[in-house]
Structure 1
Amino acid sequence: MSLLRIRCHLLEEPLSCQWIWIGDDGLPLTGEGQIADLPKNASSVQLIIPAAQVLLTRARLPDAARRQTGSVLAFAVEEEMLREPDANQVSWIGSAGDEGILAAVDKKGLTECLDALQAAAIPVDEIYCETLLLPWTPGEWSFAWDGQEGFVRTGEFEGGATDCGDDASPPLSLHLMLEDAERHGARPASIVLYTVEPEGAMTFEGSAGGTMKNPAAAPDIEAWQRVLSIPVYIAGTWDWRRAPQSSISLLQERKRWPFFSGLFSRLRPAVWIGAAALVIHSLAVAADWALLANEERTLHQQMETRFRTIFPAAVAVVDPALQMRRKLAEARHAAGVPDTADFLPMIKTVGPELNELAPGSLRAVSYDSGRITLELAAEEGLANRIAAQLRENDLSVDINPAPADAGGGVIVLVVRTP
């Protein structure tokens, strides 16, 4: 998976940046210039903001304000930023005790940078602070030094840029940070120093085909230790281009797991195919529903026509099937022939299915207009079996609650002709 890592100064006009491209083969290619000239089509794109352009600070926050960005958190750093809250993009990135750690950057500069990258068809997946890319071990501070100035990482989520120093004198801000940490009982046991190449240093060809820069010379460690009153160790060189990927993203809402980086673009053909299939399926369902509705109307019209042909004196035809059954019953009764909805034919069908009942279980039988009501003193399972057997004989059966005066254990079956 290819990676494009970009280090961009937000406040420069026009925007320029340094970058490194690591291809699928693992070989790096580095460069610097305008955003429009950056390599395209990387699987993952990371934006690195210089340490001097990110303020990492503590603030006491209500639980509801955490994991938010925008004006709510911007007010928490208003005094430290000395500018209008709307001018800052502030994010909650972690906790230290009962305090939250906030990261604040210039909103206008960040927006312009992201817009420029978007216009160049380079969507950013992650946004990191250079400070939090430094290696860090609990109990120690990590300090990056370019020969004149640098930045320090004091905790998992904390750190900041320092002012200038020289070979014999460490930055004054670093000395003041140590004094403040001592007052709060958080003074480190030592400082691990990394040398980095200063911006604009002379470049030379790297072994992988890219360009590298001359790292800064290490300062006088003994002089620094005397001024700072703390052990200082040189840990070698450090380069943001090759720093391990951090899990601390400045903008939480833009954070994505590497697995999902570029996932939508890879799945776009499948999404279009799925959408097309869904549309076709919806059209087919709608067409089938319309066809069935048309068939229902046709059948109803045919039944109504047949009914009016047989009974031309009918005034209104609402339900031709029901009205036909009623006319048929009237014709049978007029001819002295029993109808299937009469009591005797129905009880003849119902009676044999009640053989499983114990003697005395049939509490009451009533008949009214093609409906027989049975009150059974039986278990629910037996009543359900009787209902199923009656339905097999083309009868409609409902199981109703027993009346209040019937006592417990009574089940009511209502049997009708279809």
Structure 2
Amino acid sequence: MSLLRIRCPLLEESLSCQWIWTGDDGLPLTGEGQIADLPKNASSVQLIIPAAQVLLTRARLPDAARRQPGSVLAFAVEEEMLREPEANQVSWIGSAGGEDILAAVDKKRLTQCLDALQAAAIQVDEIYCETLLLPWTPGEWSFAWEGREGFVRTGEFEGGATDCGGDASPPLSLHLMLEDAERHGARPASIALYTIEPEGAMTFEESAGEIMKNPAAAPDIEAWQRVLGIPVYIAGTWDWRGAQQSSISLLQKHRRWPPFRGLLSRLRPAVWIGAAALVLHSLAVAADWALLANEERALHQQMETRFRALFPAAVAVVDPALQMRRKLIEARHAAGVPDTADFLPMIKTVGPALSELASGSLHAISYDSGRIALELAAEEGLANRIAARLRENDLSVDINPAPTDGGAGIVVLVVTTP
């Protein structure tokens, strides 16, 4: 499988880059130039962002926010980036010490780089931070030095670029990082120093199947140890071209998983079928609603016609059922027949349901047009049982709170006929 690894600084308008191509035969080919001149048709493409252009920082995030888009996570690093959150592309890359580790880059320049690569028919599969490609051992820091500047990896997901230093004086920022780690009880036991190959110093020669490298200059180790107060040793040379594969990608959510390639095009017929079914269902619901509304109007018209036939003197008919009920009550009263909504029939039904009440628990009773209000001194459970018995006798019951001056433990049951 062929691999194209590109190191592209995000500061240059020309978008020139360095690259290494490893073909199916395992032999590497390197180059430098414009993005448009990069090799094409690689099986996998990795973009390496220089350490100085990626901020690795800690933050405390809710669990649900860890997989949120970068526009949401950008607010967590707003103070450290010193620019508007919308200008940052932020990714959650892991956790350490109970805190979340975020990687932030300049969103505009990263987008320009990715757009230029896409215009050159190159689709990036992974984006890596140069800092996290440096070898690292727990309890130890790794430092890459190119003679004047460098970058340090302090943990599995942490590190950063340093300022300038010299042969006998390590970067001041490295010294300050050690002091901060000591205050937090995380001072490393030693620092493994890797010298960075100068540009053009890395040559590829096939010798016993190995890649030969030109040596790179190292600083004065003893002087660095005196200044830093910590053991420093030469761990070897380092070059991003030959760095080991990393699992910490800043573009994990954009991976091109082969099983899902072309999924949208394959699902397009199903989407159209589903949309058509939804439209048909909506039309059917609308037709059913219109049919029911028409039936309701027809029934209302039938009731109004019957009511006018029985009571031709009626002037306005708004609710035929209610008006018929009232006329029926008037007819019963005129014939001397009690109605179920009268006081005596209602109290006859309500009385047996109050058998559980203690003597004196019924404080007041009132009646008005088929409505009886009972003010009781009863606990909630007893009031609910009384209401259940009344509902069994086809009465409607509402349990209302007592008036403010009624005292504690007072409830009001409002009983009505259906």
The answer to whether structure 1 residue 216 and structure 2 residue 217 are counterparts is: no
Match of 2:160 in 1: 158
**Residue 93 and residue 399 in structure 1: after superposition, are their counterparts in 2 closer, same or farther (change >3 A)?**
closer
Q: Could you tell me the percent identity over the aligned residues?
A: 48
| Aligned-pair CA distance for 1:346 | 1.6
Q: Which amino acid aligns with 1:388?
A: A
Indicate if the aligned counterparts of 1:398 and 1:413 stay in contact, CA closer than 8 A: yes
Unaligned runs of 5+ in 1: 59-63, 75-87, 95-100, 163-172, 250-254
Q: Which amino acid aligns with 1:331?
A: A
| Aligned-pair CA distance for 1:357 | 2.5
- Cα shift readout 1:82-127 (whole Å, capped 9, x = no counterpart): xxxxxx9798999xxxxxx999988875443121234467665764
Match of 1:369 in 2: 369
Match of 1:379 in 2: 379
**Residue 382 and residue 68 in structure 1: after superposition, are their counterparts in 2 closer, same or farther (change >3 A)?**
same
TM score, norm. by length of structure 2: 0.62
Indicate if the aligned counterparts of 1:195 and 1:218 stay in contact, CA closer than 8 A: no
The answer to whether structure 1 residue 178 and structure 2 residue 166 are counterparts is: no
Match of 2:244 in 1: 243
TM score, norm. by length of structure 1: 0.62
Match of 1:283 in 2: 282
Q: Which amino acid aligns with 1:6?
A: I
SS of aligned partner of 1:336: coil
| Aligned-pair CA distance for 1:193 | 3.0
| Aligned-pair CA distance for 1:387 | 0.9
Indicate if the aligned counterparts of 1:48 and 1:127 stay in contact, CA closer than 8 A: yes
| Aligned-pair CA distance for 1:355 | 2.4
- Cα shift readout 1:25-61 (whole Å, capped 9, x = no counterpart): xx9786667477544786xx6421346x748799xxx
Indicate if the aligned counterparts of 2:133 and 2:246 stay in contact, CA closer than 8 A: yes
One of 78, 87, 93 as aligned partner of 1:68? 78
**Residue 67 and residue 109 in structure 1: after superposition, are their counterparts in 2 closer, same or farther (change >3 A)?**
closer
State the number of aligned residues: 363
Indicate if the aligned counterparts of 1:197 and 1:214 stay in contact, CA closer than 8 A: no
Match of 2:135 in 1: 135
Q: Which amino acid aligns with 2:215?
A: A
Map 1:280-359; keep pairs closer than 5 Å. Answer: 280=278, 283=282, 287=286, 293-359=293-359
- Cα shift readout 1:140-192 (whole Å, capped 9, x = no counterpart): 553366xxx78633453233598xxxxxxxxxx54265174698695996653
**Residue 69 and residue 20 in structure 1: after superposition, are their counterparts in 2 closer, same or farther (change >3 A)?**
farther
Indicate if the aligned counterparts of 1:73 and 1:91 stay in contact, CA closer than 8 A: no
> Following the alignment from structure 1 to structure 2, what is the Cα–Cα distance between the partners of residues 404 and 89?
59
Match of 1:97 in 2: none
